[in-house]
Structure 1
Amino acid sequence: MPRVTRGFKARRRRNKVLKLAKGFRGGRSRLYKTATEAVDRALVYGYRDRRTKKRDFRRLWIARISAGAKMNEINYSQLMGGLKKANIDLDRKVLSNLAILDAGAFTKVVQMAKAANA
């Protein structure tokens, strides 16, 4: 009696995993068992790192804003406090882009924050 290969449903499930493993190297893209392990791990890393990415970008923006603030003789916390007092609602991403791409506009924003602090 021949072995049971479980038909098209099992093949469809396996092909779904192998499709997710496309681009992986070696047996991880061709062999179902190793592909399953690789895909499971990749999905876990993806889930984790989508959250980590948010933290990393926030840290990067804060570092850039802080560097721009120091060039304007104010520290980061005083700048952010001054912006809050002046009711200037610019998020950190926008502020960091200003600090890099448009130093003149960033200086004006810093002046407003300094005025609100004083």
Structure 2
Amino acid sequence: MVFTSAVQLAKRAGLDQYWKKRRIFRLSAHYYGRARNCYVLAIRAVHRSLAFATKARKFKKEDMAQLWETRIAAGSEQHGVKYPHLREGLHRCNIHLNRKTLADLAIWEPYTFRVG
């Protein structure tokens, strides 16, 4: 962007600050107290909540993987097969199903884990 005068440059800088603050206030709109209206407190609260959200995405993946493994183990042990033996048998038969699919099978089609 080309500025033909110093006045236009100054106006542009003000607009940048406005939109920067507006973005923070939009993210902090649901907070209580001064963290909602005071920019210094709002920016701290928003950065903190974004950091927690980043960690939560990782923990959500770990929690879902653990839930899937629990469901698969329960479905296989219901028919007398241990989870490691089930995974080994599937691998030897070249059946490549991920944990999510196996967990869905354990819930909706429990007889697929039956031996023989």
Category of TM-score, reference length = shorter chain: 0.7 to 0.9
2:66 to 59, 64, 68: 59
Instruction: Pick the structure with greater CA Rg.
Output: 2
For 1:23 and 1:77, the matched residues in 2 are separated by 47
1:7 to 2, 14, 28: 14
Q: What is the percent sequence identity of the aligned residues?
A: 31
For 1:64 and 1:29, the matched residues in 2 are separated by 42
1:87 to 82, 91, 94: 94
Residues 18-72 of structure 1: per-residue CA shift (max 9 Å, x gap):
1111222222222211111111011111111211111111000000100111101
Letter in 1 for 2:48: R
CA RMSD for the aligned pairs? 1.6
For 2:92 and 2:80, the matched residues in 1 are separated by 19
Match for residue 33 of structure 1? Answer: 40
For 1:99 and 1:25, the matched residues in 2 are separated by 44
- Deviation, 1:7, is 2.6
For 2:108 and 2:29, the matched residues in 1 are separated by 39
For 2:16 and 2:109, the matched residues in 1 are separated by 58
For 1:90 and 1:102, the matched residues in 2 are separated by 14
- Deviation, 1:8, is 2.5
- Deviation, 1:9, is 2.0
Match for residue 23 of structure 1? Answer: 30
- Deviation, 1:10, is 1.5
For 1:37 and 1:54, the matched residues in 2 are separated by 27
Match for residue 99 of structure 1? Answer: 106
Structure 1: give runs of 5+ residues left out of the alignment: 1-5
**Equivalenced residues, count:** 104
Structure 2: give runs of 5+ residues left out of the alignment: 1-12
Partner-residue secondary structure (3-state), 2:94: coil
Match for residue 3 of structure 1? Answer: none
